[in-house]
Structure 1
């Protein structure tokens, strides 16, 4: 099984944002810290999820059991119910849902922030990278 921990963060709302992605499985661990530019925290959470889905698809993980873990109840609930309340996030949600359908076995699980520390640290690092690019 592949476990994918994701987090989006913003310094300000909106403000400089970043995505943190921590993937473990198959005996290895991968870390990604991706600057996202200026956006809200909720947008950053969705972008982190989309980036993680794209990375997993590029690496051929779609044939494995892939469990995504997030501390964002907004993203977790939207994926679980296949419904988004705020229409502002509809395009991001639809893209994420479309990507998730490409996995043979896809799971999304909400976890408390304390269990998502690595992804959170990577997201915060990505915020600082915005100023370097």
Structure 2
């Protein structure tokens, strides 16, 4: 299987408010940047959208090294929380409804297609690719 490295980030001006997301996909020395946004959204929705849009571009099952500064995304996937939410009818362990169910339902089949390794990185720090994703996400949010 091919190994693809993906960096993602989301941004929102206000929460909710105008938001954007950015991603960088790397494979075999080639980089592809992608980004987008929405006029009324949340930061977590943009974080999830960046991962969804990135994984959806892969044309075959891959080993994916996923880097994100979103504890929400990384912890929910790496610690398996999202599978518990789904099993309980999208209810969290604290009995509150899970948020962003529409996006989680898009993401889970993509996660199951690939062998994904999760990496949390500190936002706005020394990770050049994460910082680039942040720049793209912020620029997209400003379009709205």
Q: TM-score, normalised by structure 2?
A: 0.78
CA contact (8 A) 2:22 2:136 kept: yes
Aligned to 1:78: 76
Aligned to 2:140: 126
Runs of 4+ in 1 over 4 A off after TM superposition: none
Alignment size in residue pairs: 125
Unmatched segments (≥5 aa) in structure 2 = 83-91
Q: Secondary structure at the match of 1:63?
A: coil
The one of 50, 56, 64 equivalent to 1:66 is 64
Q: Secondary structure at the match of 2:81?
A: coil
Question: Greater CA deviation, 94-103 or 65-74?
Answer: 94-103
After superposition, the CA RMSD in angstroms is: 1.6
Aligned to 1:49: 51
Q: TM-score, normalised by structure 1?
A: 0.84
Q: Secondary structure at the match of 1:68?
A: strand
Higher-Rg member (1/2): 2
1:33-78 CA distances to partner (integer Å, 9 max, x unpaired)? 21223111111111111111112x2xx2x43321111000010000
